[in-house]
């Protein structure tokens, strides 16, 4: 899936935080605060892979580099530049969800490098992309896209990247519509509230992928071209790569234990994405589904 070259991608609330190389003396150790939220893309902690992720040691401060995003104005730029692609994702996700949710409010997308302060604590990129409900921001270190391929074994591609952002946007939708309320998110297991919440976010991502190619920008130009079969395959492949069973087999203990699942199996994540893609937002009631 690629953006239409002349689509206007301005409008999304996106900021960029760069890494400041200055290291405060004597700090040592990366501060990783466990996020007591289930709004991540995966249930896997990448801490052990930190050298690969570029999560360094020492105390880092970040600098605001949001000005870099001002030059991102068109779909053509989004097709060629990862930061512009993230901005375009935010703008087009807003445009789509405005048509789906009464009283929709924009979250903010924060592109960061290494670690950053959030309303959910200090986060390093070891937690992967996530949404923080208290501050209504989606956080992503785009180096995760390399991990998605090298560690999780995904095929990659632009639509796989957009699926990741759209999944986190799904958590924002769940937050502002109240679907996150009254859930037992400490519980794990194949039919737990956590898994149902995550599969619904995958379904919402699928619904956006279908809807956004007919959602017009401010000038009436659809944001994205209709995805090709190969691009859909990339998105499904990414959903499979972050399935709990696949992660347990390849990055965890090696054995599959559904009792500890928080995000659903590879098959389930693909199927709910597909459900949203073919049937739309109304089909995404994973909380009432008899089988997941």
Chain contacts with Zn ion (rule: CB under 5 A): 198, 201
Whether residue 269 contacts residue 243, with contact meaning beta carbons closer than 8 Å, is answered with: yes
Q: How far is the CB of 248 from Zn ion (least distance, A)?
A: 17
CA angle 32, 241, 189 (to 5 degrees): 70
Q: How far is the CB of 108 from Zn ion (least distance, A)?
A: 17
Q: How far is the CB of 194 from Zn ion (least distance, A)?
A: 9
- Tell me whether residue 78 or residue 242 sits nearer to Zn ion (CB atom): 242
Distance CA 125, CA 144 (A): 8
Sequence-ordered list of residues with C-beta below 8 angstroms from that of 271, at least 6 positions apart, any chain:
none
Distance CA 126, CA 256 (A): 22
CA angle 9, 13, 19 (to 5 degrees): 105
Q: How far is the CB of 154 from Zn ion (least distance, A)?
A: 16
Distance CA 252, CA 83 (A): 31
- Partnered with residue 124 across adjacent β-strands are 115
Distance CA 175, CA 281 (A): 15
- Tell me whether residue 64 or residue 187 sits nearer to Zn ion (CB atom): 187
- Tell me whether residue 3 or residue 277 sits nearer to Zn ion (CB atom): 277
- Tell me whether residue 113 or residue 198 sits nearer to Zn ion (CB atom): 198
SS3 of residue 130 by DSSP:
strand
- Tell me whether residue 79 or residue 200 sits nearer to Zn ion (CB atom): 200
To the nearest 10 degrees (0 to 180), the angle between helices 229-241 and 193-212 is: 160
- Tell me whether residue 9 or residue 126 sits nearer to Zn ion (CB atom): 126
Distance CA 245, CA 215 (A): 35
Q: How far is the CB of 96 from Zn ion (least distance, A)?
A: 18
Q: How far is the CB of 43 from Zn ion (least distance, A)?
A: 9
Q: How far is the CB of 254 from Zn ion (least distance, A)?
A: 24
- Tell me whether residue 69 or residue 236 sits nearer to Zn ion (CB atom): 236
- Tell me whether residue 3 or residue 208 sits nearer to Zn ion (CB atom): 208
Distance CA 273, CA 202 (A): 5
Whether residue 58 contacts residue 130, with contact meaning beta carbons closer than 8 Å, is answered with: no
Q: How far is the CB of 168 from Zn ion (least distance, A)?
A: 7
- Partnered with residue 117 across adjacent β-strands are 122
Number of H helices, E strands in the chain: 9, 7
């Amino acid at each position: 899936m690629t953006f239409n070259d002349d689509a206007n991608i301005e409008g999304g609330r996106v900021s960029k935080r760069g890494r400041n190389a200055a290291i405060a003396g004597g700090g040592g150790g990366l501060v990783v605060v466990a996020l007591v939220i289930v709004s991540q893309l995966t249930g896997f902690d990448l801490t052990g892979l930190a050298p690969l992720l570029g999560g360094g040691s020492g105390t880092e401060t970040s600098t605001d580099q949001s000005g870099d995003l001002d030059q991102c104005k068109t779909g053509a730029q989004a097709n060629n530049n990862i930061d512009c692609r993230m901005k375009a994702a935010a703008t087009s996700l807003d445009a789509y969800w405005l048509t789906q949710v009464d009283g929709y409010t924009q979250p903010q997308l924060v592109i960061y490098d290494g670690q950053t302060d959030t309303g959910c604590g200090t986060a390093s990129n070891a937690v992967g992309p996530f949404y923080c409900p208290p501050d209504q921001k989606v956080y992503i270190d785009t180096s995760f896209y390399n991990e998605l391929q090298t560690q999780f074994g995904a095929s990659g591609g632009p639509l796989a990247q957009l699926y990741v952002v759209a999944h986190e946007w799904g958590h924002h939708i769940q937050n502002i519509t109240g679907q996150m309320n009254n859930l037992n998110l400490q519980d794990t297991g194949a039919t737990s509230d956590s898994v149902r919440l995550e599969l619904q976010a995958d379904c919402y991502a699928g619904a956006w992928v279908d809807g956004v190619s007919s959602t017009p920008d401010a000038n009436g130009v659809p944001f994205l071209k209709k995805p090709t079969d190969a691009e859909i395959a990339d998105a499904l492949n990414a959903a499979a790569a972050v399935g709990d069973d696949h992660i347990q087999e390849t990055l965890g203990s090696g054995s599959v234990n559904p009792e500890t699942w928080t995000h659903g199996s590879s098959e389930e994540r693909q199927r709910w994405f597909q459900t949203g893609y073919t049937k739309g937002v109304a089909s995404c009631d994973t909380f009432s589904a008899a089988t997941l």
